[in-house]
Amino acid sequence: MFYMNNIEIQDIKNYHKSQNTRCEKFISCADSVFRYVLVIEYLGGSFAGSQVQPGQRTVQSEIESVLNVLTGHDVKTVFAGRTDRGVHAKGQVVHFDLPFEIDTYKFIHSMNSVLPADISIISIKQTERDFHSQRSAQYRWYKYTINNRQQRSSWFNNALHISQELDIDNMNKALSYLIGKHDFSSFKSSNSSNPAKECIFHRAICLKDAGIIYIDLIADRFLYNMVRIIVGTVICIGKGSFPPEYMLEVLEAKDRTKAGPTARPEGLVLMSVGYNNKYKINDELNKEAIKNENLLCKAS
């Protein structure tokens, strides 16, 4: 949970009081609903995942705790996608509703002043009532990082360390089989109760720079553990355990037992989530895409 000193608590009480006073000025305040969208980043190592779980520290519980204090309301949030224990995010998108408007410039500073150090709010804006962080999303972008150097790295301590040299060419050829619309049952956790199985892949590539491998995966959605199972499979191919064509065999088998192991979570980051331009949410998200060969633009 988060901790605040007496000064911060008083500031929040004053802020809440000012918002209530402001709310009274709205003629139909009690009947109005204002939707806000957050873009957040977090380090997942100390969380039991993004989604609220009883008795567990999660990203959602931390965000909602701060929102409840700042607004004086029982605020419920909706995340664009669920991330597992240990998985990080640089562009997770969250929406929530309030019965009054807020000063977003002040609000983001208030949130960041009391949130724990492993969560940050990148941006906040009021959005259209039909916007839904999960259902309105057109694609998600995940990046998995592998330290493929002989020695571990302090700078890449969140990356999966594999000292055996991986064959990047074979890994890229294997990933190319994922492009398009397919049944991804082979890459879905056997513990998942969600009947969904089809996804549309826009981009699947890996790059190597100074011994660090980056695997970028962009699709309209991802099944439970799908990214980590794909990564686990492509690592096996990179090690030479299977030829690149094995990825196609696994895809067509629609059988989880045919795919490789589930890769560890610490190397995985949810980079960003893409939406229709009418929502004007992508401005902040695209900054990272521009730095990474404009992957999001290529997926749109």
Residues 6 or more apart whose CB falls under 8 angstroms from that of 88 comprise: 41, 42, 43, 44, 45, 158, 266, 268, 269, 270
- Catalytic entry in 84, 97, 183, 216: 84
Please confirm, yes or no, whether 84 is among the known catalytic residues: yes
User: CA-CA distance, 274 to 260, in Å (whole number)?
Assistant: 29
User: CA-CA distance, 186 to 190, in Å (whole number)?
Assistant: 9
User: CA-CA distance, 78 to 229, in Å (whole number)?
Assistant: 25
For 265, the token pair is 């979570």
Nearest CA to 262 among 236, 217, 228? Answer: 228
Asked if residue 113 lies in contact with residue 5, where contact means CB atoms within 8 angstroms, the answer is no
Cα dihedral 110, 113, 114, 117 sign: positive
Q: Which residues are catalytic?
A: 84
